[in-house]
């Protein structure tokens, strides 16, 4: 390949092939653990069971893998991105802080992976600036964990395609003033109200309306804010915090307004209610995400954060440190 630009273009083109991420480990002749992050892993044969991966010729691990009869491939789980980064650091002490199990040939076996394949090196092939290792799988295990993915040079999130989610295949509707069931506003609104509906019993028990709930939630994150500051943070809801609201929360012992500073403080009663509301919200979230795996739940939240950031008119962030808010 002639130029550097060609190399980059080739690399980018290869990046359009989405892969999982593995860590391949071995133990060298001196008994030293050795390993690296690799996404060149692939299946080769079912009978006999065989897999392959390729190692850059200039890898510091080359000697260890060339000399060892065994290696282990660990298919990483979605929450193992830090481990992947650690094993992608050239020459680093990659096993620091880890206490791996031992497999065939004393090969280190890492925990918490989606799958692990212990292999005996069957063949080695020259592959340009890489060496291809083909291993016969002598043992494997597999856990039902969402996998870590890599696409376009970055870690990625993916969702499994569900069977048809709607009756009508969500066809575009052309009638002016109408919208189809794929309209984002409808989807977000309906998801919100159905989720929120699960919390209504808890709110009703404490005679709280949606605005009361907003106030209690914000004070739970940023206690001691004025009504105007709280209103600013929930500006996306359109709710107004009137003096009547504050008086009602105060009369019920949920919020204590400080007349000298205009600040609102959650009382112990308010905190107790907040904890109940948070538990109800968590239960509603768990129920809503019940059929999702880790990647799908992370993907949904990731994309919603994108929408929120992209449409944010510039509201103060309730999670910013108090002095920066
Ligand atoms: C997602 C990802 C996939 C990688 N895949 C490979 C691969 O298949 N083969 C390889 O030799 N290096 C691969 N690398 C790079 C190595 O992990 C990296 O060069 C590592 O520092 C090599 O360590 P060593 O030189 O200490 O052996 C990959 C890195 C990342 C982040």
What CA–CA distance (Å, rounded) separates 17 from 236? 39
Report the residue among 23, 24, 35, 38 best suited for mutation to probe ligand 1: largest number of ligand atoms under 8 A from its CB.
38
Task: Specify the residue with its C-alpha closest to ligand 1, atom 28.
Answer: 38
Atom nearest to 37 CA in ligand 1: 17
Residue with tokens 């856990």, as numbered in its chain: 143
Ligand 1 neighbour 38 (Cβ under 6 A):
yes
Q: Is the pLDDT confidence value at 69 over 90? A: yes
Q: How far apart are CA 200 and CA 124, in angstroms?
A: 63
Pick the residue whose CA is nearest to atom 5 on ligand 1. Answer: 38
Residues 6+ apart with CB under 8 A from 111: 100, 101
Amino acid 168: pLDDT: 57
Average pLDDT over residues 155-169: 75
Whole-number mean pLDDT of the chain? 92
Specify the pTM. Answer: 0.80
Q: Which CATH superfamily is domain 4-156 in?
A: Electron Transport, Fmn-binding Protein; Chain A (2.30.110.10)
Report how far ligand 1's centroid is from the alpha carbon of 89 (Å).
8
Pocket test for ligand 1, best of 59, 94, 149 (most atoms within 8 A of CB): 59
Continuous segment of H or E residues that includes residue 258: strand 255-258
* CB distance 132 to ligand 1 below 6 Å: no
pLDDT band at 111 (very low <50, low <70, confident <90, very high): very high
Hey, where are the domains in the chain? 4-156, 185-324
Could you give the 3-state DSSP secondary structure of residue 68? coil
pLDDT at residue 178 tops 80? no
18/31 Cα distance (integer angstroms):
35
CA 101 to ligand 1 centroid distance, Å? 22
Query: Cα–Cα–Cα angle for 132, 138, 144, nearest 5°?
Result: 95
Assign a CATH topology to domain 185-324: Arc Repressor Mutant, subunit A (1.10.10)
Q: Is 60 in the pocket of ligand 1 (CB under 6 A)?
A: yes
The token pair at 86 is 């650690």
Mean pLDDT in residue range 71-97: 96
Nearest CA among 171, 115, 116 for reference residue 147: 115
Q: Are the beta carbons of 237 and 215 closer than 8 angstroms?
A: no
- Pick the residue whose CA is nearest to atom 21 on ligand 1: 90
């Amino acid at each position: 390949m002639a130029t550097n630009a060609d190399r980059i273009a080739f690399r980018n083109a290869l990046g359009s092939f989405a892969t999982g991420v593995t860590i391949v480990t071995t133990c060298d002749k001196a008994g030293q653990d050795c390993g690296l992050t690799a996404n060149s892993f692939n299946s080769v044969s079912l009978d006999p069971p065989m897999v392959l991966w390729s190692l850059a010729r200039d890898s510091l691990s080359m000697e260890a893998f060339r000399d060892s009869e065994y290696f282990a491939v660990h298919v990483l789980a979605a929450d193992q991105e830090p481990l992947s980064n650690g094993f992608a650091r050239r020459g680093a002490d990659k096993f620091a802080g880890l206490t791996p199990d031992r497999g065939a040939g004393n090969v280190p076996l890492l925990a918490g992976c989606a799958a692990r394949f212990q292999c005996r090196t069957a063949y080695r092939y020259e592959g340009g600036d890489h060496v291809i290792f083909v291993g016969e799988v002598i043992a494997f295990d597999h856990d039902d964990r969402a996998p870590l993915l890599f696409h376009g040079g970055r870690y990625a999130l993916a969702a499994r395609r569900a069977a048809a989610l709607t009756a009508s295949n969500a066809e575009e509707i052309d009638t002016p003033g109408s919208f189809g069931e794929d309209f984002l506003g409808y989807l977000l609104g309906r998801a919100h109200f159905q989720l929120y509906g699960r919390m209504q019993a808890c709110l009703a028990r404490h005679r709280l309306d949606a605005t009361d709930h907003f106030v209690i939630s914000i004070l739970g994150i940023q206690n001691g804010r004025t009504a105007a500051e709280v209103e600013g943070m929930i500006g996306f809801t359109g709710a107004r915090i009137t003096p009547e609201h504050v008086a009602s929360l105060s009369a019920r012992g949920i919020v204590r307004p400080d007349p000298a500073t205009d600040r609102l403080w959650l009382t112990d009663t308010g905190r107790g209610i907040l904890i109940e509301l948070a538990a109800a919200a968590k239960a509603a979230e768990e129920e809503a995400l019940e059929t999702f795996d880790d990647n799908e739940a992370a993907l949904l939240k990731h994309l919603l954060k994108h929408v929120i950031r992209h449409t944010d008119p510039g509201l103060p962030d309730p999670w910013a440190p108090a002095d920066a808010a």
